[in-house]
Every structure is written in C-alpha cells, then in structure tokens.
C-alpha cells in the first residue's frame, strides 16, 4: 500500500511526462532491424541451410496434410470428390470410437460427424481434424521419448528442457505465429508447426510427471529382481503411468485443436477460417455456427480420449462381455468396409448432401443477438462504462501515463514485496528488455487490461471456488460446466462477447474473463477443499462463524492454490487479451495483428510479440516467487487463530448481531 500511495502521489505531478508513447505507425531503428532480419531470412531460402531445412519440414507438413485432405475432405483431381466420401469417414470414425472406448462414445462421434455435414462445414471440419491429427501424431512421436527422459531424470539438459517448456507454456498462443511463418511459410505448414509447438509441452510435462511419480517401493522391488532400466521402463513405469500419460495426450489434443483453430490467421485450413472471416465482418451468426462446431469437436475429442483411458480398467473389472464386443467390432468393421466402398462408388455417399440448416441457424442467431443487444444495450453499456471508469481508466492512467521510470520502479518495488529477491530480479530483467524493445507504452496498456481482467477473474474464482469447496451439490453442478468451458478454444469466446459489447478493449477483457475463469475457479475450489478437516473442526470448536472460517482459516491455508490460480489466470488472460487485438483491444495485440497484416510493419509486430512474451515471463516468475515466500506465515496465522478466543456469532464483540 505504501508503494501504491507513493506512486499515485508522484503520478499526480508527472502525469503524461516521459511515457514513451509512440504513434501507431511510427517505426524505430529496432523495428527496421527486425524487418531487415525478416527480409534476410526470406532472401536466403535457397542458400541458408537452416532455412532450407525448416522449409523442407514445412513442405513435408504441406504434403502430409494435402494427402490426408484429398483422402477425406477435398476433391482429389481428376476425381471430383475425395478418395473416401463422407459416409466412409463417418462409419470409420464411429467404429474407431467404439474400438477405443464404448458404444456411448461411438454414438457421440457419429452424431458429431453428421452435424459437421448437416450444418454445411464438412470439408472445413475434416481439414481441422487433419491438422490436429498430424500435429498430435508428431507431438506423441517427439514428446513421449522426451517425457521418458524427463521423467526418468536424464542427466543432461533436463534443466534446459524445463526452462524451454516454461517459456513455451508462458508464451501467448498468438505469438507463436510470427516466427513460425517466417521459417516455415504460411498455410498448412505454419498451422501444423505452430500447433505442434503449442501442443508439445503438455504431453512432456504430464507424462513425465506420471513416470517420475511411480511408487519408489515398486521401483526398488524391480531393482531387487534384477530388471534392467529398459525392462523397468517398459514393464513397470510406463504401464503404471498409463493413466497419467493419457491425461497428457488429452491435454495435447485440446491444445492442438485450440492452436489449429487460431492458425486460420496464417491461412491454416479448418473451421477457424469461417470464424475469422465472420469476425472481421462483425457477423455474429456467421461465426457462431462454425464456432459451435469447434466446441463440439473439442467435446468429442475430450470425451473420447477420457473414455479410452478408462477402457482397460473397465475391461479388467469385467465390465464388458469380451465375446460380444469382438462380434460387434467384427460386424462393425464389415459395415465400415461397405460404407467406404459405397463412398467411392456413389456420389450421394461421397459428397455430403447440401443443406441450408447452417444458414438458417446463423440467421436465427443474428436475430437473437440483435434483440439481445437492442434490449440490453443500456445494461451492457452501463457495465462497460462502470468498469472502465472505476478500474480500467484509473489503472491505465497510473501505469501508462506515469513516467516510464516511475512505473518501472513501482513495479520493481511491488515485485520485491510480493516475490522478494527472486521476484525483483525477474522483474528487473523483463522490464529492462521491454524498455529496449521500444514498446513500453503499449506494454503498459496491455498490462492494464491484463490486471483488470485478472482482478475480475479472481473475484469470480473466490466466490465460486469457495462455494464449490463448501457445497458438494454446487460442485457437482458447476464442475462439468467448468470442464466444458476449458475445452472451448479461445477464439470462440470472442463471438458472443463481440455481439454484446462491439469491438472495444472491453470486449477483449470480458472474453479474457470468460476464458480464464474456469481454470482459476477449479484451482481455488481444489485448494480450499484440500484444507484438513481436522483444522476446520478445530476452528469450529473455538466458535468460528462461517465467514471467519473462510477468511481466517481456509483462504490463508489455501494460499499456494490462490497464488497458482492467480498465476494461471494472468497467463490465460494475457493470451486472450492479445487475441482481442482482432476486435479492437489495441496495444500490443493490435501491434502483432498489424505486423501480420502489413509486411512493412513486420518488425513492429515481432517486437510486440517479444514484449508479450516478456510480460508473460514477468508475471509467471513473480507469481512463482510469491508462492515460495515464507510458507509458514499462513500456518502461524491459523495456529494463532485457533489458540485465540474467537468471538461467537451474535455476541457484542463479533459485530454480527
């Protein structure tokens, strides 16, 4: 509070001085050097071995996705339709759903694929699945060996690998696109490579964690039996970590789908393209239908991988009749072969019948949102104005309109208070580099939106997280909703928010809150639920009221979970605020988008992307440092509370009469 008060006093006398604000289209020597670097890379495609190698990888990705697309989604000339038509693809996908999971998943897969076609987006949906499939396949082939090395404690490079994974998971999704387009080209190559880069860390981290946490007793038993390291890995560690590895695969698939959708901005094929076209026209209905199909695809893939991870356990418990299952699989395979043959011979089975259902739904959504916006325009405007007046504008004035050195010193002081020396060092390095990148003012505007959105996220997280932790019924209702919210790609969140609030910075903030709230709420709920029941019982025996129990016992003891929720909320918000540059958020997000849109602005876009990465690293490191600062304070505070005479509710001292 002392730092903040001193900052406000200084700002009152120095408002608007040395803010390092720059005109939107102004270039700097640094931006020019970055653009020159881009030009040099493009000019050396035929001579530079590194660039030749990356473009060769990009060409392989193009060839692989093109071949798969001609198989299932686009005409394979001179054949006027794909090699396998919609009926064969639907039948094969349904059979695979039953083979890896169960009949319920097979029905879900069949219904999902049929919906893609009925709504008129069969080809786009198949293209998105192709990009996701290729990226996930590469992520598994590359990630599993690295996960084994990571989980078994390899001696060389593990620290470097951890730092690289931290950087990849801290970096907002939009920032991946710039350097990848430069070295791999646009289209399918960029879509696959950026999707791979974003989807790789989850499987390495989660699968490695599962391998590393196999019971030490079991490992000792295998050692005493004389097993080699290879036998121990193949016969003990991997089988016992199977469930965790499948969770990592699930997260990799979700990450890949999310990034493959966003890759539409660099001409990546799939459902992201119609969403992006509609967003640029402010066509809510046109964006809604493909956006909901992306959600449906995410739910289908999530449920399929989750059910597949439980398949072996169910079979081991005798949950299925093996003989009946083999008969159904055999009969289903015959049906698949017949469907594939028909799809190659009959036009009606090769090309999905045309339908105007998607157009009618889009028109209905436009009408509905038109009514909502006209009816609630005053309310949404009041909410936007209130948040802007009370939070956004004052914080922006403080961060962006103070002299840059005043803001920098204040942020360093806050980093030290929150994270001590570790937080101070990380903040000093990141802020110095942000100044050198010549986008300080835009960075502070972005940080303003991030902080306001994170504050709103944490308010929701505390309210609903505490409610879920204290009520089993609320948890049962809300947790599936939050799980579904986490499967929705971030791009999709812009659609309804854009309709309600029009293209403004507030639109990006609201979309960020909706996107980041599920993970923060779940982390807070899980942290509070983990507080020892005996501690709660002891607090109740001293006469604690419900509010005292929450604020003086549960929240202090769940401090690390709260810090983690804040950390993840900040990073999710930062990622979404950048995507909000597409809908009027301005600041660094706009600079990145401008760099993609105009070749002469590439240097500024690259500098903006690097600045966003530095903001993410700064936020992540300070939050991590905060989680490690004196951990015994919360315990001491709680023990003091339990030893003290806490006023009973209704007594004159309690103030709760």
pLDDT for 593:
77
State mean pLDDT over 641-646: 39
CA dihedral 296, 299, 303, 306 (to 10 degrees): 150
Radius of gyration of the chain (CA): 27
Give pLDDT tens digits for 47-84: 888 888 888 888 998 999 999 999 998 888 888 889 99
Give pLDDT tens digits for 505-555: 888 888 888 888 888 898 888 888 888 888 888 888 888 888 888 888 888
More confidently predicted of 280 and 409: 409
Give pLDDT tens digits for 255-276: 888 888 778 877 888 888 888 8
DSSP string, 559-608: HHHHHHHHHHHHHHHHHHHHHGGGGT--HHHHHHHHHHH-GGGHHHHHHH
**Structure confidence at residue 638 as a pLDDT band (50, 70, 90):** very low
pLDDT higher than 90, residue 90: yes
Nearest Cα to 579, choosing from 292, 275, 198, 174? 174
More confidently predicted of 387 and 157: 387
- Domains in the chain and their CATH numbers? 376-649 (1.10.3720.10)
Q: Are 251 and 202 in contact (CB under 8 A)?
A: yes
pLDDT higher than 50, residue 653: no
State mean pLDDT over 428-435: 93
Kindly tell me the sign of the dihedral angle through the C-alpha atoms of 12, 14, 20, 24: positive
71-to-83, 89, 366, 586, 624 alpha-carbon distances in Å: 5, 10, 35, 41, 47
Give pLDDT tens digits for 13-24: 888 888 888 877
Mean pLDDT of the chain: 82
Write down how long the chain is.
657
pLDDT for 652:
31
pLDDT higher than 60, residue 639: no
Give the least confident one: 161-170, 446-455, 595-604: 161-170
Q: Are 208 and 639 in contact (CB under 8 A)?
A: no
3-state secondary structure 387-402: HHHHHHHHHHHHHHCC
pLDDT for 91:
94
pLDDT for 407:
92
Instruction: Give the pTM.
Output: 0.81
Highest mean pLDDT among 210-219, 284-293, 492-501, 564-573: 284-293
Nearest Cα to 138, choosing from 175, 192, 184? 192
pLDDT higher than 50, residue 483: yes
User: Could you give the maximum distance between any two Cα atoms of the chain, in Å?
Assistant: 88
More confidently predicted of 465 and 651: 465
pLDDT higher than 70, residue 644: no
Q: Are 312 and 245 in contact (CB under 8 A)?
A: no
pLDDT for 96:
93
Nearest Cα to 185, choosing from 51, 74, 47, 313? 51
- Those residues whose C-beta lies under 8 Å from the C-beta of residue 476, and which sit 6 or more positions away, are none
More confidently predicted of 613 and 224: 613
Give pLDDT tens digits for 113-148: 999 999 999 999 999 999 999 999 999 999 888 888
* Triad 86, 91, 95: Cα angle to 5°: 150
Give the least confident one: 207-211, 327-331, 521-525: 207-211
State mean pLDDT over 88-110: 92
pLDDT higher than 60, residue 655: no
**Structure confidence at residue 157 as a pLDDT band (50, 70, 90):** low
pLDDT for 640:
42
pLDDT higher than 70, residue 155: no
> Which secondary structure element, helix H or strand E, spans residue 491, and what is its range?
helix 490-501
* Triad 511, 515, 520: Cα angle to 5°: 130
pLDDT for 316:
56
pLDDT for 464:
92
More confidently predicted of 573 and 173: 573
State mean pLDDT over 184-189: 85
More confidently predicted of 419 and 88: 88
At 439 the three-state DSSP class reads: coil
pLDDT for 649:
32
Give pLDDT tens digits for 271-285: 888 888 887 777 888
**Structure confidence at residue 95 as a pLDDT band (50, 70, 90):** very high
**Residue 298 exposed, middle or buried by CB count within 10 Å (0-12, 13-18, 19+):** buried
Alpha-helical regions (H) of 73-102: 86-100
pLDDT for 647:
37
């Amino acid at each position: 509070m002392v730092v903040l008060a001193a900052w406000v006093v200084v700002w009152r006398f120095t408002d608007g001085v040395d803010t390092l604000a720059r005109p939107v289209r102004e270039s700097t020597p640094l931006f020019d050097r970055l653009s020159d670097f881009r030009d040099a890379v493009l000019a050396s495609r035929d001579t530079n071995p590194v660039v030749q190698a990356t473009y060769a990888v990009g060409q392989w990705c193009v060839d692989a996705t093109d071949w798969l697309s001609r198989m299932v989604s686009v005409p394979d000339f001179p054949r006027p339709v794909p090699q396998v038509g919609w009926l064969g693809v639907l039948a094969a996908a349904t059979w695979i759903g039953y083979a890896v999971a169960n009949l319920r998943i097979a029905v879900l897969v069949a219904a999902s694929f049929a919906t893609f076609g009925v709504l008129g987006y069969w080809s786009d949906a198949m293209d998105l699945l192709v990009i996701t499939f290729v990226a996930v396949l590469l992520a598994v082939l590359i990630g599993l060996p690295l996960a084994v090395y990571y989980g078994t404690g390899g001696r060389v490079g593990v620290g470097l690998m951890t730092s690289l994974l931290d950087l990849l998971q801290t970096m907002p999704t939009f920032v991946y696109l710039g350097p990848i387009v430069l070295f791999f080209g646009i289209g399918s190559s960029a879509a696959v490579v950026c999707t791979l880069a974003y989807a790789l860390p989850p499987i390495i981290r989660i699968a490695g964690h599962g391998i590393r946490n196999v019971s030490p007793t079991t490992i000792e038993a295998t050692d005493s039996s004389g097993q080699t390291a290879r036998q121990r890995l193949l016969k003990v560690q991997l089988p016992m970590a199977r469930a965790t590895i499948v969770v990592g695969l699930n997260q990799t698939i979700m990450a890949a789908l999310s990034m493959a959708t966003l890759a539409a901005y660099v001409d990546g094929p799939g459902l992201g393209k119609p969403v992006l076209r509609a967003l640029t026209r402010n066509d809510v209905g046109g964006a809604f239908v493909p956006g909901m199909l992306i959600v449906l695809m995410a739910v289908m893939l999530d449920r399929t991988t989750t059910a597949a991870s439980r398949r072996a356990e169910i079979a081991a418990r005798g949950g299925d009749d093996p003989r009946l299952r083999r008969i159904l699989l055999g009969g289903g395979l015959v049906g698949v072969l017949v469907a594939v043959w028909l799809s190659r011979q009959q036009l009606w089975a090769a090309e999905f019948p045309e339908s105007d259902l998607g157009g009618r739904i889009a028109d209905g959504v436009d009408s509905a949102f038109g009514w909502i916006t006209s009816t609630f325009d005053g309310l949404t405007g009041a909410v936007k104005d209130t948040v802007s007046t009370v939070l956004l504008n004052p914080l922006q004035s403080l961060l962006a309109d103070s002299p840059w050195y005043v803001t920098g010193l204040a942020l360093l002081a806050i980093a030290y208070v929150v994270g001590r020396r570790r937080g101070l060092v990380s903040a000093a390095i990141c802020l110095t580099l942000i100044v050198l990148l010549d986008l300080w003012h835009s960075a502070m505007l972005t940080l303003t939106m991030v902080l306001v959105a994170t504050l709103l996220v944490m308010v929701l997280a505390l309210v609903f997280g505490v409610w879920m932790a204290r009520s089993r019924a609320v948890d049962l209702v809300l947790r599936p909703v939050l799980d579904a919210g986490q499967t929705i790609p971030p791009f999709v969140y812009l659609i309804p928010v854009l309709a309600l609030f029009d293209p403004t910075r507030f639109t990006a903030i609201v979309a960020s809150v909706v996107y980041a709230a599920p993970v923060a709420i779940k982390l807070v709920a899980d942290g509070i639920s983990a507080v020892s029941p005996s501690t709660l019982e002891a607090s109740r025996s001293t006469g604690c009221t419900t509010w005292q129990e929450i604020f003086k016992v549960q929240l202090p003891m769940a401090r690390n979970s709260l810090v983690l929720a804040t950390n993840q909320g900040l990073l999710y918000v930062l990622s979404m605020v950048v995507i909000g540059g597409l809908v009027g958020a301005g600041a660094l997000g706009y600079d990145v988008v401008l760099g993609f849109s105009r070749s002469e602005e590439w240097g500024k876009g690259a500098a903006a992307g690097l600045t966003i990465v530095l903001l993410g690293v700064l936020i992540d490191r300070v939050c991590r440092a905060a989680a490690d600062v004196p951990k015994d304070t919360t315990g001491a505070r709680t023990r003091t509370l339990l030893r003290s005479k806490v006023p009973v509710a209704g007594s004159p001292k309690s103030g709760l009469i």
